[in-house]
Amino acid sequence: MTEHVILVDKNDCEIGTAEKLVAHQNGGQLHRAFSIFVYNMLGELLLQQRAKKKYHFGGLWSNTCCGHPRPGETVSNAAERRLTEEFGFTCSLTVRSSLIYEAHDAASGLTEREYLHILTGRFFGPPQPNPEEIDAFRWKPPAAVVEELRTTPQRFTPWFPLAFQHVHDDGGKPAF
């Protein structure tokens, strides 16, 4: 089955759909997406290393989970679906913020142009990562993430530091 994404304008109003891969080619088309930040009882953030075989930005570290709503699917429903697909669990999620960004992946030639919804949640059990999606995962205190972003930003997806700033203050504490 071919995946489709929802094309949007700069106000997140739907203007159509496109095949997922097509929406990332030739400079990309602005489409709806989400990034999830999940924390444990210690306040540590669940990070994932994207599978190297992913179609773009493979092998880089990022927030807990990312994805795209399908046509007719809400951001919240899509986020729950994708979290289950990638990490084998679901939890209560809250939409915290949104932003528009663009990032080009030189390795694949694809471009992300996303209206990104940022969600947060808490989970207190063991993740069950899907090896098709995730090469590795770790729980990390947000202050340590700030330091790692400062010293080795090339290890992370380009959207991660942007979204991280929307849910954390300068010291790494969650802003919610």
Residue 172 forms part of a structural domain: no
Cβ–Cβ < 8 Å for 81, 139: no
Helix, strand, coil proportions of the chain in percent (round to 5)? Answer: 20, 40, 40
Neighbours of 10 (CB within 10 A): 8
Residue 176: per-residue pLDDT: 58
Domain that includes residue 75, residue range: 4-160
Integer angstrom CA distances of residue 110 from 63, 107, 113, 153, 160: 20, 8, 10, 20, 17
Spacing of C-alpha 109 from chain mean position? 19
CATH number for the domain spanning 149: value is 3.90.79.10
Determine the angle formed by the axes of helices 142-151 and 159-167, rounding to 10 degrees: 140
The reported pLDDT for the residue numbered 170 is 65
Predicted confidence at residue 107, as pLDDT, reads: 87
pLDDT of residue 24: 95
What integer pLDDT is reported at residue 136 of this predicted model? 98
Residue numbers annotated as active site: 66, 114
Indicate the pTM of the whole model: 0.94
pLDDT at 117: 98
Instruction: Render each residue's pLDDT in the chain as its tens digit; 176 residues.
Output: 789 999 999 999 999 999 999 999 999 999 999 999 999 999 999 999 999 998 889 999 999 999 999 999 999 999 999 999 999 999 999 999 999 999 998 888 999 999 999 999 999 999 999 999 999 999 999 999 999 999 999 999 999 999 999 998 766 666 65
Count of domains for the chain? 1
26 Rama class: left (phi>0) / alpha (psi -120 to 50) / beta: left
Under 8 Å between Cβ of 123 and 91:
yes
